[in-house]
Chains A and B, each alone.
Chain A
Amino acid sequence: MNFFPNYYSIEDIFVTQEKVECKVNTKLQRMGFLDAGAEGDDLEPGRSINLPLWYIKELKVNNAYFTVSVPDIYKNVHKAVCEAETTHIELGRLHPYFYEFGRYLTPYDRNHVIGRIIFETMRQRVRHLLDISKNDGQMAKSELRLDNIETKLHEAGVRTNTQYINWLQMTGNKILISELVEEHQKKRKRDRSDDEGDSLPSSKRVTL
């Protein structure tokens, strides 16, 4: 729920797997294999190649080899943020890790727009998140609209709401069977029915 990326967090790994388009600035000897369309062994300046974020982010921002070009989603969105309601953007469709990906790319954006976009977008959308967590029936519809972080926040909100509703209806007082025990019971039942299924033909065989 509360997301602070570290080296081992799976979300962070997912985000840093993303490919980023980079322009090659200097001739890189024997690096041609990085570019599928390259003719020679060397990587020529001026070509653009896709490199994973985890590689790029270890290089200096103003390194001599690559210039990172900012993905389009952060350019188009900027306009949308200024002109329209942010709550109507389908963030999940743009990028499943919209915020985190943007956060990593912030230093590479020379107009420093990205930082502001992700900050403003999140700020505008929190109210919307609070509202939609009040009714949990729309989850299927909103799946594409939310970014990964927002989905987690939404889940947290829905959970709070369900707890509250349960309390209000006094249904939370019952002690429920733990999930593990329930699974075990189901499994036992299944096994038993399987046994019966097995034993039936064998008994037939005997009678035959």
Chain B
Amino acid sequence: MDPAIIEFIGEKCMISIIPNFSNEPLHLIYGSVGPFRAGFPVFVPLWMATHLRKQQKCRIVPPEWMDMDILEEIKEEEKRSKFFTKMPSEHYMVVAQLVMSTAPDDVPRCEELRTVIKDIFDIRESKLRTSIDAFIKGEGTYAKLDNLTLLEIHSVRPILPYSLDHIARYQRTATASQRDTSMLSASMAGSSTGPGSNSLFSQ
């Protein structure tokens, strides 16, 4: 999956805007949006928000979580916790990226926020790597990763599933050979002991 596709999925998030025009409700395939009244906030999908903002037809109201204190808290929580904490939005990276690149003026302390969000993402990513490592080296057969967002999953795909495929193949070979030889040695135990059988029994 491409980041562009993830962005596309994330663009369906609703976000509040303050339009500077008035219009009838728009009837879209998945529902209606509006009506727009100049100066009154209205919820629209993110893709529409960025589109209107580029045409200077609205102001984007940053989501509640796009706030320095809240994000700092999330960051600390993420550092403290062993597990992944719940993010304020399932597409927090996409929303942040789109809002901050199209409308940096609408977000107070935009640059600082950008850094914090990137920090959070990096912490989570390295945590993901560590837990993958623990999972592969450990004996577990499955791993449960809650609260992971699409973009974070993207960062280990497709390398992780492919590596797991290979590991599984070699594991199968290893166990299969172990089984075959033990069967072989069992059948040979009854008959005469050949020259090579010493090494078989030594296992």
* Residues of A participating in the B interface, judged by any CB pair closer than 8 Å: 1-4, 61-62, 67, 99, 103, 106-107, 109-112, 114-116, 118-119, 122-124, 126-127, 129-131, 133, 149, 152-154, 156-157, 160-161, 163-164, 166-168, 170, 172
Contacts and interface: CB of A to CB of B under 8 A. Distances in A.
Given A115-B177, A118-B174, A153-B162, A126 B167 contact: yes
Contacts of B156: 130, 160
A40 B21 CA distance: 99
Nearest to B129: A130
A110 B196 contact: yes
Given A99-B170, A118-B174, A160-B159, A127 B203 contact: no
Contact of A157 (B4, B7, B151, B159): B159
Contacts of B175: 115
B78 to A, nearest CB: 19
Interface in B130-174: 132-133, 136-137, 151, 154-160, 162-163, 165-167, 169-171, 173-174
B3 A164 contact: yes
B130 to A, nearest CB: 9
Nearest to B162: A2
B170 A115 contact: yes
Contacts of B203: 111-112
B159 A149 contact: no
Interface of B is mostly: helix
A130 B170 contact: no
A130 B173 contact: no
B4 A172 contact: yes
Contacts of A170: 97, 101
Nearest to A154: B159
Contacts, number: 117
Nearest to A116: B174
Given A2-B162, A123-B136, 15 more contacts: A2-B165, A62-B184, A67-B196, A103-B169, A107-B177, A112-B181, A115-B178, A118-B170, A119-B173, A122-B163, A122-B166, A123-B137, A131-B129, A133-B159, A166-B3
A30 to B, nearest CB: 26
B199 A110 contact: yes
B165 A127 contact: no
Contacts of B159: 129-130, 133, 153-154, 156-157, 160
A99 B132 contact: no
A44 B95 CA distance: 75
B198 to A, nearest CB: 9
Nearest to A111: B199
Contacts of A1: 158, 162
17 contacts: A1-B158, A2-B158, A2-B162, A61-B180, A62-B196, A99-B166, A110-B196, A112-B203, A115-B176, A115-B177, A119-B173, A123-B136, A130-B132, A130-B159, A152-B162, A156-B158, A170-B101
